[in-house]
Structure 1
Amino acid sequence: MDISTTETIEILGTISFAISGTFAAMQKRLDPFGVLIIAFVTSIGGGTVRDLLLGDTPVAWMRDVRTCLLILFTSIATIFFKTHIKKFKVTLFLFDSLGLGLFTMLGLQKGIAFGLSPGICVALGTITGCFGGIIRDTLLNTIPLIFRKEVYATACILGGILYFILIQFTISVVVAKLIVIAFIFVLRILVVRYKLTLPKFVY
């Protein structure tokens, strides 16, 4: 596994989800402490669930204080720059989509590092990408995106499958990672832009 690439993806993913969590909390008009809490759970929620499932404890953010500091500084900076951002909803959506792609890739790589099957790796990627948002939305009393008809977890699953297809060809692992991250990000934008949804079951 390319350590430098993985660390870069983790940093960018943490920043993206910290920003999305901060904006989601500010939309609900939480106080600064509440905003920081939501930023933290959005950033570390998926990775924590993944590491607990793998038995990889203490979980990643507990072993590296830099993760907590990164979330703290990102959230504070986002709060200060909020006056320069007019469309909270659009900004939240873009950073949430970017974080989804980045963290899905992190989960995939963690599963591969543990020698797990492709199907389980895709599941871990989906968990890593989605569960921070699930915890965030639950705490904010919002129906999590993964439980709506909007394409969310499906984007993670398709991205994970695409990764395992790409590495079967003569393409570098780094390029495959970038393609998958971009695929998930662009797919999320397209499905929202054109209002594409999964079928909803009615009983």
Structure 2
Amino acid sequence: MEQLFHWFDLMGIGVFAIAGTLAAWRKQMDGFGVIVLATVTAIGGGTIRDVILDVPVIWLTDNSYFYAIFGATALTILLVRNRLTIPNNALQIADAIGLAFFVVMGAQKALAYGTSDFVAIMMGTMSGVCGGMIRDVLCREIPLVFRGELYAVTCIFGGLVYTQLLALQVAPLPAMLAGMLACLLLRLAAIRWHLTIPVFGRSGRISK
């Protein structure tokens, strides 16, 4: 099972690296900028999670995470340079897939270190959103988590599905897959139908 968790981690890393590379492509960054953006997107959230949990940071002792980042980045660059048509929402879709992996894997790691379900969901959400936040800040954009369609809510939902299925004695693998699918489907639905949680009306104004 540990080996499976590791592969899930690498898949999430690779997908987030693709999202970071696409963001760098949209901003027409140079090669160094592409690598930086892909890397912080892929490992930023997990690094912050591990620091908070006070456990060894995932990539300090395992170079396979960097291999996944560089491999995914190189593949994306090749596809883009070969004039492959990139859909407008490709970044959002790649980001959604990365979220699904990282939310559940972040929650799983937190639970493995003895946290409560509530803290595990928070750690899973942090794993999913923080890398993208750093990416968007470096791109001088408002992070996706603060604008547009449902984002952090989808992470919380996926983490909730995962932790509660475990509480109901569902086997770890089906619980993980269900949590990932729940997060992914809700995020894709939010992108497709522009689902939001409005608080302030568009007509609101601040009095001077």
Give the aligned partner of residue 109 of structure 1.
108
In structure 2, the gaps of 5 or more residues are: none
- Cα distance, 1:149 vs. partner? 4.4
Q: What is the SS of the residue equivalent to 2:197?
A: coil
Give the aligned partner of residue 15 of structure 2.
16
Aligned partners of 1:84, 1:181: CA distance in 2, in Å? 32
Give the aligned partner of residue 49 of structure 2.
50
Task: Confirm or deny: 8 A CA contact 2:122 2:156 kept in the other structure.
Answer: yes
Give the aligned partner of residue 189 of structure 2.
190
- Cα distance, 1:165 vs. partner? 1.9
Q: Which residue identity does 1:95 align to in structure 2?
A: A
Task: Confirm or deny: 8 A CA contact 1:27 1:88 kept in the other structure.
Answer: no
Matched length: 201
Task: Confirm or deny: 8 A CA contact 1:149 1:198 kept in the other structure.
Answer: no
Q: Which residue identity does 1:75 align to in structure 2?
A: T
Aligned partners of 2:3, 2:168: CA distance in 1, in Å? 23
Task: Confirm or deny: 8 A CA contact 1:108 1:121 kept in the other structure.
Answer: yes
Moved more, 126-135 or 178-187: 178-187
Provide Cα deviations, 1:121-150, integer angstroms capped at 9, x if missing partner: 000000000000000000000100111142
Give the aligned partner of residue 63 of structure 1.
61
Aligned partners of 2:136, 2:61: CA distance in 1, in Å? 26
Aligned partners of 1:84, 1:15: CA distance in 2, in Å? 21
Normalization by structure 1: what TM-score? Answer: 0.94
Moved more, 119-128 or 61-70: 61-70
Aligned partners of 1:105, 1:13: CA distance in 2, in Å? 10
Moved more, 19-28 or 149-158: 149-158
How do residues 123-202 of structure 1 correspond to structure 2 at under 5 angstroms? 123-201=122-200
Provide the aligned C-alpha RMSD in A: 1.4
Moved more, 35-44 or 70-79: 70-79
Task: Confirm or deny: 8 A CA contact 1:149 1:199 kept in the other structure.
Answer: no
- Cα distance, 1:3 vs. partner? 0.5
Q: Which residue identity does 1:44 align to in structure 2?
A: I
Q: Which residue identity does 1:118 align to in structure 2?
A: D
Q: Which residue identity does 1:141 align to in structure 2?
A: R
- Cα distance, 1:94 vs. partner? 1.4
Moved more, 117-126 or 162-171: 162-171
Identity of aligned residues (%): 36
Task: Confirm or deny: 8 A CA contact 1:21 1:38 kept in the other structure.
Answer: yes
Normalization by structure 2: what TM-score? Answer: 0.92
Give the aligned partner of residue 5 of structure 2.
6
- Cα distance, 1:182 vs. partner? 1.0
